[in-house]
Amino acid sequence: MATLIIDRFDGKKHYEQSYTLAPEDMAGKTVLNTLLFIKQTQDPTLNFTASCRCAICGACGVRVNGHAILACDTKMDDLVKTYGSDTFRISPLANFKVISDLVVDWEPAVENLRKIHPGMVAKSEFSEKEGCRQTQAEFDRIKKQWDCIICGCCASECNKLTADNRDYMEPFVYTHAWRVANDSRTKDPLVHGKPAVSGGLWNCVHCQECANRCPKGISSADDIAAMRALVMSKGLTDGVGPAHAKAFYTDLVEDSGRLNEVRLALRTEGVSTLARTGMAITLLRQGKMDPLEVFGGETIEGHDALVKMIEAAHAAAKE
């Protein structure tokens, strides 16, 4: 027998409920079909959302054993193989407010999506007769991001949102900002880039969990990095984030090729770094930081090759 422990919420209290299934009740079924089976045969009060049942609409995101999945695109048999167990915990997506059982409130995330203007504002030179065309190559550049079905799996896994969601948006929001800003027909990428910056573009912590769990293989982390480069190239260079990116570049290319934590902090935050003197003293005492690092160090072996590699990456990004 298999056991599904489902995290439930009745509007007032959170509790868990276990459902027992015979092997034939879930053999060959998806997680969504298994939830439907429970609803139809054991508990009509169980709430969850789904629509297309074929990994297109993005409505059925839930967590199994703490990891976000599309319920309609995940087989129970595969879960048994992955976890080597037939007991699973099914929970609502994390980093969303729970409305009922596995149903979460999407309105704040949709509001964030509205902020970055996901609909294209086309260049004025397109004629009414010709329409708003683009070449296959231009479309290919953004087609991966078009695959995003806004299921929320990336947001559920996002460590930044878990730590503090007040200065950050859901990772898929930045993916859509990148997609529309890089559409060859878009009039002004900054229409999408500016709200992405004010919505926390520079606050991504690079944990890569969004990329790990996206059911469509999209890396919002990469899109965030590319969007940062785009907004900097368009002149949005104020703030700690751009300063940190520039300091990284200076350390690697113009200086020794070593990331020098002391100079990196000074170049990024200037004198306000002094506010963290206490932490610096602790690091010094523990032998984790060398004060002489502020004067730099020997250039690393192979520095020329590193510079060439970075320049080649720059050139490739411009193509």
- Cβ neighbors of 11 (< 8 A, separation 6 or more) are 99, 100
Give counts: helices (H), strands (E), the chain: 15, 7
Helix (H) or strand (E) holding 210: helix 209-213
Counting contacts by CB under 6 A, is residue 90 touching ligand FES? Answer: no
Please report how close the Cβ of residue 274 comes to ligand FES at its closest, in angstroms: 51
Closer of 33 and 219 to ligand FES (Cβ):
33
Select from 233, 163, 170 the least CA-distant residue to 199: 170
31, 68, 72, 264: which one contacts ligand FES (CB under 6 A)? 72
Element housing 17 (H / E): strand 14-21
Residues 6+ apart with CB under 8 A from 291: 262, 284
Nearer to ligand FES, 171 or 200 (CB): 171
Q: Is the dihedral of CA 288, 290, 296, 301 positive or negative?
A: negative
- Maximum CA extent, the chain: 71
Q: How many residues lie near ligand FES (CB under 6 A)?
A: 12
* Choice from 2, 38, 62, 70 touching ligand FES (CB under 6 A): 70
Contacts of 245 (CB under 8 A, 6+ apart): 228, 232
Q: Which is nearer to ligand FES, 72 or 210 (CB)?
A: 72
Instruction: From residue 180, give the alpha-carbon distance in Å to each of 28, 152, 236.
Output: 39, 19, 18
Nearer to ligand FES, 72 or 214 (CB): 72
Is residue 158 within a helix (H) or strand (E), and if so which, with residue range? none
What is the nearest approach in angstroms of ligand FES to the Cβ of residue 151? 6
Q: Do residues 38 and 4 lie in contact, with contact meaning Cβ atoms separated by under 8 Å?
A: yes
Contact 174, 196 (CB under 8 A): yes
Q: Which of 102, 112, 39 is nearest to 69 (CA)?
A: 102
- Give the residue with the Cβ less far from ligand FES, 48 or 168: 48
Q: What is the closest distance, in whole angstroms, from the C-beta atom of residue 152 to ligand FES in the complex?
A: 11
Q: Under the criterion CB under 6 A, does residue 171 sit at the interface with ligand FES?
A: no
Q: Is 93 helix (H, G, I), strand (E, B) or coil?
A: coil
Closer to ligand FES by CB, 53 or 141: give it: 53
Nearer to ligand FES, 52 or 281 (CB): 52
Closest distance to ligand FES from the beta carbon of 280 (Å): 49
- How near is the Cβ of 32 to ligand FES at its closest, in Å? 6
Rounded least distance, CB 93 to ligand FES, Å: 13
The contact pattern for ligand FES, residues 33-62, with x = CB under 6 A and - = no contact, is -----------------xxxx-xxxxxx--
To ligand FES, the closest distance from the beta carbon of 224 in angstroms equals 24
Q: Closest separation between CB of residue 48 and ligand FES, Å?
A: 10
Would you tell me which residues interact with ligand FES (CB under 6 A)? Answer: 50-53, 55-60, 70, 72
